[in-house]
Amino acid sequence: MCGIVGVLGTHEVAPLILESLKRLEYRGYDSAGIATVNNGTLDRRRAVGKLINLSDLLVHEPLTGKSGIGHTRWATHGAPTVTNAHPHRSGGVAVVHNGIIENFKALRAELAAAGLVHETGTDTETIAILTRLHLTQGMTPAKAAAATLARLEGAFALAFLFEGEDDLMIGARKGSPLAVGHGDGEMYLGSDAIALAPMTDRITYLEEGDWVVLTRAGAEIFDADGRRANRAVSRIRLDQTQVDKGGYRHFMAKEIAEQPAVLQAALAFHLDPSGQALSLPDEVDFSDCDRITLVACGTGFYAAQVAKYWFEQLARIQVETDIASEYRYRQPVLSDKAVAIFISQSGETADTLAALRHVRDQVARTIGVINVPTSSIARETDVALPILAGPEISVASTKGFTAQLLVLLLLALKAGQDRGTLSADQVKDHLATLASLPGLMRQALDRNEEIDKIARKLAEARDVLYLGRGMMYPLALEAALKLKEISYIHAEGYASGELKHGPIALIDKTMPVVVLAPRDALFEKTVSNMQEVMARQGQVLLISDPAGLEEAGEVWQSITLPTVPELIAPMIYAVPAQLLAYHAAMVRGTDVDQPRNLAKSVTVE
């Protein structure tokens, strides 16, 4: 949940590390820090808040040295203060850490008993102190780090730097990702390849339990049992690491606008060249499957809930959806004929990864629906289907959501095909419908200005309700999540029919109620629920198509979307939900791409 980077360079490293941290800031921005070794002397600078504060500090208090480590933090143990900011240091050891050390209290007590006192409330400082202790016992830095790693329980990616060692850096990975970058006479460590992209496109992804000794001459990698390990060097595509805003004010705006192109690319990838047949890996086979389990967190979970409708309708199969953090601990009843699908943009979400590991030997097959092809979930599922959204930098997921939906819909069609609930012609018809998706989405994006004006009114509210029926219900949940996470307006999503079972008590004239309702088979029922809201002076913002808006009559506000086939309505209706949240956040002046308390990649449970 934090970003880490390390450089053994040939020039001053602080500016390089700052640039890399900028690319990792999506992982956390509670504080940032850098440590360097300069002619043997270890030094560090740390600042609370965003990277810009560290950058300012370095102007006044420069940090020299050609070897360094850096960190951008999402606080877990200890408040976001300078003292708790990484790198943590004990004597001649500096450490940056992403993850959680679960046994740090026991270690802390053990170290305290040995007279070694902590200055911070963090679990990471324990790593630095323990390593220092090992050094004082006469171990080499590599042996000291290895001895420390052997004592750590929990999840971590680590980078160590040592006083007196200008040509040494040690990295380790267990449960949190870490990549080694190869340069010309330089070596790097980073939480992901995007961080290292300005310096190199030659990357080695460490495996679970690996640790690595880096010098400028290269990397010596060891596995969890301490044996030398050969890990491949791969070339990453630099177009997948571009993280500029492309002229937009925020990454979120850019990512919303990219959706038609993303969906077009995903369709081209997962269909055969004729566009009339699915082209999915052979392992994606639902013939003998007796149920489907969909597991994810946050936005991915709402995508799963939409997909449940598709799988049930198209493939007539039992589907369960679960939040990853609950799934693992509630002793789910598993079937060796089940297909379990794990949805994750980052592919690193700790809860989703843990849920995957928990069930993978007990089900017939695991499928990953992921955006980052080199991620842990991509590597650990039997088959990983890319959503091909490209880097999603904004913390609020937008193109990730609609691309997840598309891939899940393709999987539901495949399930229908494999189980014989859909004929070849029906699959072809559905794929023909999908061909209209990018164009319809462009039309939805064309409502941007109209939505901006409405969002200004929405931004005045303290609370907002979102209502929907059928597939629009999970979409209402996603719309509410989007609004609350970036505008900080309290919002809830409900199934329209549930309103009268409690939430209707909240309705008064100050309460905007956003109703997501294409003119479909459920429309009349939704309109009745809308009337119940208006009868209690609730302010209805109806998002529908021309037929739906005409039939519904007068409402407080409305957004007109194109008439769309029911199958693809969730993707199209996601667009106004995203734009409403975006513009409301702009009005409220929040930090749209990096909302408070959040991080893009949640690699702690």
Q: List residues with catalytic annotation.
A: 2, 600
Q: 181, 196 in Cβ contact below 8 A? A: yes
* Segment lying near ligand M6R (by CB under 6 A), choices 61-69, 130-138, 343-351, 461-469: 343-351
Nearer CB in complex with ligand M6R: 35/393: 393
Question: Closer to ligand M6R at the Cβ: 37 or 369?
Answer: 369
303 binds ligand M6R (CB under 6 A): no
Cβ neighbors of 358 (< 8 A, separation 6 or more) are 327, 328
Segment (H or E) for 211: strand 211-215
Which residue number, 175 or 298, has a Cβ lying nearer to ligand M6R? 298
20, 305, 397, 496: which one binds ligand M6R (CB under 6 A): 397
Closest separation between CB of residue 346 and ligand M6R, Å?
Answer: 3
For residue 366, give every residue at least 6 positions away whose Cβ sits within 8 Å of its Cβ, in sequence order, or none. 339, 340, 341, 342, 356, 359, 360, 380, 381, 382, 383
396 contacts ligand M6R (rule: CB under 6 A): yes
**Per CB under 6 A, does 485 bind ligand M6R?**
yes
Q: Are 572 and 578 in contact (CB under 8 A)?
A: no
Residue closer to ligand M6R, measured from CB, 396 or 431: 396
Per CB under 6 A, the segment of 19-27, 208-216, 339-347, 461-469 that binds ligand M6R is: 339-347
List the one residue from 344, 366, 496, 558 that touches ligand M6R (CB under 6 A).
344
Largest CA distance in the chain: 81
397 vs 496, which CB is nearer to ligand M6R? 397
Instruction: For residue 300, state whether it binds ligand M6R (rule: CB under 6 A).
Output: yes
Among 7, 14, 180, 395, binds ligand M6R (CB under 6 A): 395
Q: Closest CB to ligand M6R among 297 and 341?
A: 297
Q: Rule CB under 6 A: say whether 544 interacts with ligand M6R.
A: no
297/347 Cα distance (integer angstroms): 11
**SS3 string of 145-183?**
HHHHHCCCCEEEEEEEEECCCCCCEEEEEEECCCEEEEC
Q: Is 352 a residue that touches ligand M6R (CB under 6 A)?
A: yes
Judged by beta carbon, residue 297 or residue 461, the one nearer ligand M6R is: 297
Q: What is the DSSP letter of 240?
A: G
Q: Which of 345, 366, 374, 487 binds ligand M6R (CB under 6 A)?
A: 345
CB of 297 to ligand M6R, least distance (A): 4
The reply to whether 454 sits near ligand M6R by the rule CB under 6 A is: no
Is residue 349 involved in binding ligand M6R (CB under 6 A)? Answer: yes
Residues 6+ apart with CB under 8 A from 39: 65, 166
Question: Shortest distance, CB of residue 240 to ligand M6R, whole angstroms?
Answer: 16
Stretch that binds ligand M6R, among 156-164, 345-353, 436-444, 501-509 (CB under 6 A): 345-353
Minimum distance of ligand M6R from residue 145's CB (angstroms):
30
Q: Which residue has the tokens 């808006």?
A: 549
Contact flag: residue 602 with ligand M6R (CB under 6 A): yes
In DSSP notation, 460-492 reads T-SEEEEEE-TTHHHHHHHHHHHHHHHH--EEE
- Nearest approach in angstroms of CB 347 to ligand M6R is 7
Beta bridge partners of 368: 342, 384
As measured in angstroms, the least distance from the Cβ of 79 to ligand M6R is: 22
Is the preceding peptide bond at 565 cis, omega within 30 degrees of 0? no
Pairing of strands 202-205, 211-215: unpaired
Q: Which residue is nearest to ligand M6R (CB)?
A: 298
Q: What span, in angstroms and rounded, lies between the C-alpha atoms of 308 and 419? A: 16
Rounded distance, CA 211 to CA 108, Å? 23
User: Is 297 an interacting residue with respect to ligand M6R (CB under 6 A)?
Assistant: yes
Beta strands 234-235 and 202-205 are antiparallel
Binding site for ligand M6R (CB under 6 A): 297-300, 344-346, 349, 352, 395-397, 481, 485, 601-602
